[in-house]
Amino acid sequence: MKEYDILVIGAGAGTKLVTPPSQIGKRVAVFEKETPGGTCLNRGCIPSKMVIYPSELLRLGEESKRFGIQWDEKPKFQVGSIFQRVNETVKFDADSIPIAYEKNPNIHYYPKKVWFQAPKIITDGVDEYTAKHIFVVTGTRPKLPKIPGLLETPYWTSREALSPKFFPKSLLIIGAGFISLELGAAYSAYGCEVTGLTRGEVLSHADIDIKKELMAHLPFPIQTGLDIHSVTYQNNKFQVRAKNHEGKDLHYEAEQLLIATGITPNTEDLHLENTNIKTNSDGYILVDETLQTNEPGVYAFGDVIGRYFFRHSANFEGEYLFEHLFGENKKGPIQYPPMPEAIFTYPQIASVGKTEGELINENIAYYKGINPYRASATGMARLSEYGFVKVLVSKETEEVLGAHIIGEEAANLLHQIVMGMFLKAKLSDYLDMIYIHPAISEITRNAFRKVREQKLNEGK
């Protein structure tokens, strides 16, 4: 039996409980069955944004004709070189993680798959390991839909789409969420003919006005309301057969198929039955208000607990656990601040807090302010044809309950409101501050002015 102070299963967000504890003298063992760095570094946030950014430059070039700028010829680029740079950069960063651990005498890195042998004992099939504190940070993986024929084809998930062996001329994407919208937009900008297919609606969780604006400016066509019957692959082509709500048979064909229908937790191989750890019906690990599982001393965080599916939320949870368990000022139950999210599609989308639909369902009184990009000085300068900032303000407290942005720089523009929500700023605070003129943040100011107008009209 090998004994440590801390065992960490998963070298993605789990790294938050590796180096910091080692620096205060804790002996840490970290286990990773795949490439260190987790989904975010290897097949998620970082490589996807490295693929997306050059595609945004291409789209901006295409839209420059609005300003009377004409290109004599199409831009020249090698899409293979773009993906090669992404893969080389990601590999370098991932390879550097074990090297850094090897230099730290308090960290032992094990590139192994492990599982629970008993409540506080994990094994790799040969050796056994135990510790006072165990952290399960195994994340998620793409979820595959039960479509006849799919498993017999060379389909892609996000993993293959971010490191393709070839760049297809045409691509079908099953799914209409974050991954579909981001990768579909990038592939489309690089010249691939992309078509989305989905049973439900596009971006089902989003605010209603965001969905309406997105549907009017999709970066590639998406067919909704489909019941997909089968997938086949013949003569280097994918064939997807489906029916729409009217019962009409439909057929789609492309060189490649990308499955982007959600995620599932990596818990089935942990042999949790050998412990008191419980999961919900979808396999996500249940934790209490301190992120502890039903097994004392065993904690879980990140995607595997199914609360939020962002690296920034996983980082927050990891940092909380370090302070809660090892910090000088022990923290109580975890308290999440406003949790922002962004979709780096085209147009970009960013949100925080409640949607308008949620406020209606929860019977919460609110003011609504929507200001389009074009109704601002910078929007006029950019000849903005779409996009808006939407703010939802409590009638009771006049604090922001939610904010939703679609358009250029949405993810950056949202942070002013995120900070305001964190500091419990009121409507007057957003109105009384000075905004740089003419900056894109004036769109946010104008949205709050719309709230003020609504409030004044209601009082008449």
Which residue, chain included where needed, has tokens 């099953």? 174
Neighbours of 153 (CB within 10 A): 17
Domains 2-141+264-326 and 150-261 share a fold: yes
* Token pair in block for residue 30: 């970290």
- The reply to whether CATH 3.30.390.30 applies to domain 347-459 is yes
Q: Are 367 and 447 in contact (CB under 8 A)?
A: no
Q: Are 284 and 143 in contact (CB under 8 A)?
A: no
Neighbours of 330 (CB within 10 A): 9
Q: Which residues pair with 257 in a beta bridge?
A: 172
Q: What are the pLDDT tens digits along the chain (460 aa)?
A: 999 999 999 999 999 999 999 999 999 999 999 999 988 888 889 999 999 999 999 998 888 888 998 877 788 889 999 999 999 999 999 999 999 999 999 999 999 999 999 999 999 999 999 999 999 999 999 999 999 999 999 999 999 999 999 999 999 999 999 999 999 999 999 999 999 999 999 999 999 999 999 999 999 999 999 999 999 999 999 999 999 988 999 999 999 999 999 999 999 999 999 999 999 999 999 999 999 999 999 999 999 999 999 999 999 999 999 999 999 888 899 999 999 999 999 999 999 999 999 999 999 999 999 999 999 999 999 999 999 999 999 999 999 999 999 999 999 999 999 999 999 999 999 999 999 999 999 999 999 999 999 999 987 6
**Diameter of the chain by CA atoms?**
76
Neighbours of 290 (CB within 10 A): 14
DSSP tag of 169: S
The CA-to-CA distance between both ends of the chain, in Å, stands at 75
Q: Are 313 and 26 in contact (CB under 8 A)?
A: no
Q: Is 265 helix (H, G, I), strand (E, B) or coil?
A: strand
pLDDT, residue 73, reads 77
Binding residues, as ranges, are 49, 175-182, 262, 303
Binding residues for NAD(+), as ranges, are 175-182, 262
What residue spans define the domains of the chain? 2-141+264-326, 150-261, 347-459
**Exposure letters 103-127 (e unless 16+ CB within 10 A, then b):** eeebbbbbeeebebbebbbbbeeee
Angle at CA of residue 185, ends 182 and 187, nearest 5°: 105
DSSP tag of 65: G
CATH of span 150-261: 3.50.50.60
Fold of 2-141+264-326: FAD/NAD(P)-binding domain (3.50.50)
* Calpha distance 22→18 (Å, rounded): 6
User: Looking at the annotation, which residues are catalytic?
Assistant: 437
* Calpha distance 208→255 (Å, rounded): 34
